[in-house]
Amino acid sequence: MIKSKSGFWLAIPTPSAPKRGVGGKRINPSNFPEHRFGPLRFVYRRGRPSLLVVDGVRINKSGRVERRAKGGAFTKTGRMKQGMATSVMFIMVPQVRLKKRLDVRREIKRWERRLPGLIDRHMRMG
């Protein structure tokens, strides 16, 4: 089980989030390039993972987020301008459980049979 360092949320980047943040490091909410995309907004969803979203960004044909709208993303009436969207950048979860990647017992049994022959072969060579 993996939990966050601070005990609140783990931020999992979505495919629409940039790969690198400010300073060239792997993206996370603390180094998110807000100067380019705008501020992150927390969206709480009861009983489901919460989200960190960016409002008023342009999404290109491949589905990647390009940049924040110049002159604001909203019209005078409060509607979002054409071609603008709210994009999910991070999915926030309290903890995650990963599948076991190494079956230790199976590997022990596998090497238990092979090891005597390998030792014998090595001793004859040396």
Is 25 a domain residue?
A: yes
Is 82 a domain residue?
A: yes
Query: How many Å apart are CA 53 and CA 41, to the nearest integer?
Result: 5
Read off the pLDDT band of 38 (50, 70, 90): confident
| Backbone angles phi and psi of 112, in degrees to 5 | -60, -40
* Of the candidates 11, 49, 45, 6, the residue with the CA atom closest to the CA atom of residue 27: 11
Check residue 100 and give its pLDDT.
Answer: 81
Residues 14-23 have pLDDT tens digits of 988 888 888 8
Is 59 a domain residue?
A: yes
Is 113 a domain residue?
A: no
Check residue 75 and give its pLDDT.
Answer: 66
Is 110 a domain residue?
A: no
Is 79 a domain residue?
A: yes
Where in 1-126 does DSSP place strands (E)?
A: 2-3, 10-13, 40-43, 50-59, 65-68, 84-93, 95-96
Q: What is the number of domains present in the chain?
A: 1
pTM, entire model: 0.66
Residues 80-123 have pLDDT tens digits of 666 677 889 999 988 878 888 888 888 898 888 888 888 888 88
Tokens of 87: 């994009």
Is 124 a domain residue?
A: no
